[in-house]
Amino acid sequence: MTFQMPKLFIKLKALLESMGDRAKKRGKYCRKEIYVRGEPMNVSSKGLDQKKVRTPMALDNKDIYAESSEENPIVPYDVFDSRRILGLAAYIILGIRPDAAHAAAIVARFTGSKQTEAVIKHTVRLAWYLVDTEKDYVLTFRKSLDGLSLSGMVDASFANDPKTKRSYFGYVLRHGANPIAWRSKLEASVALSTRDAELMAAVHSVQHILGIRFFLSELGLLKEGATSVMTDNKASMEGVQNDKNHKGSHYMGYRLSWLREQVADLLVHFEHVESKKNVADIFTKVLCEDDFVKLRSELLNLEELVS
C-alpha cells in the first residue's frame, strides 16, 4: 500500500511556477555534493539525473544562518513570501514524506522572521525536491512478518546549530515495519554532551510513544509488552536502564528519573542499534547524497531496500 497526495504536489509545482525567477529550479540544486575533509564539495554527477533535485538541502547550507548583508539582503514578504511554499511543503512532509523533515525543520526557523535571499533559496530547493521525487519515493506500507508491534528509533546530533549550539533531534515510530509518526526539531536548550542531547531526544520520543500506546490500547491493537526504543548512544541507554549516577547525571536528573520510571513500568525498553543502521539519523543532520539515499530507502519502505 502506497500513500500519495497528487493534488498537493500539483498545487506546489504550480505555486513555484507562479512566483517568478526566485522560485525557479536552479542547476546547482541538482549537483552532487560530498564531504572532503569536513568541507562540502561538488563532484561529478555522471549517471545521475541532472535535471532533478535529489536531496532536500545542500551540504553547504551555512548561508541560511548568515545575517543579512549586501550579498544576502532581506526580501520583504510582499515581494516574495516563502511561507506560502513552506506551508504547502510542510503539509506534504508531515503526511507522507519524512525524508525531508530535517530540511523543513531548518528552513522553518527562518521563513517566519527576517527572510533573506538565502532562506528563499533553501525553501525553493526543498519544494523542488518534493516535486521532482513525487513518484520515485513514495511512502509504502508492507505486511509485517513480525506482527504489529510498536517500536521507535531515536537520534540526536550534538551542538550542530551554528547560531545557538543547540542540537537537532529526531525519531521515527513504527507500527510493525511501517512508519506512522516522525519528527525533526531543534532541542529547546543547549546540551552539555552527546549523552545529554540523546537523553533529551529520548524523552520526546517516549512521550510520543506513550500517546500512541494509549491510542492503540483503546482500539485493542496494542501488542503486550514494552515498546522497543532503539538508540545508537550506549551512554544514554545505560544511564536509563540502571540506577547508577554518572558524574554528569544531576544535570539531567528529572529526565533520567522519568525515563527510568517508564522502563520500570514496562512501558518501554531501550536497545542499542549501530549508527549506520539508525534511520533516525536522517532527522538530525544534513547528509551527503549516498548516505541520505540509503536511509531514505529504509525510512520510506521502498521496494529495493538498501542494506
Domain residue spans of the chain: 2-43+53-132, 143-299
pLDDT digits (tens, 9 = 90+) for 64-81: 999 999 999 999 999 999
Say whether pTM exceeds 0.75.
yes
Predicted local distance difference test score (pLDDT) of residue 307: 41
Question: How many angstroms separate the CA atoms of 19 and 126, rounded?
Answer: 15
Question: How many angstroms separate the CA atoms of 265 and 268, rounded?
Answer: 8
Segment 98-114 shows an average pLDDT of: 92
C-alpha 149: how far from chain center = 23
Q: Does residue 279 contact residue 153 with C-beta atoms inside 8 Å?
A: yes
Predicted local distance difference test score (pLDDT) of residue 303: 62
Predicted local distance difference test score (pLDDT) of residue 185: 97
- Options 3.40.50.720, 3.30.420.10, 2.40.50.140, 3.40.50.620; CATH of 143-299: 3.30.420.10
pLDDT digits (tens, 9 = 90+) for 243-274: 766 666 666 788 888 999 999 999 999 999 99
Q: Which of 140, 250, 259, 131 is nearest to 198 (CA)?
A: 259
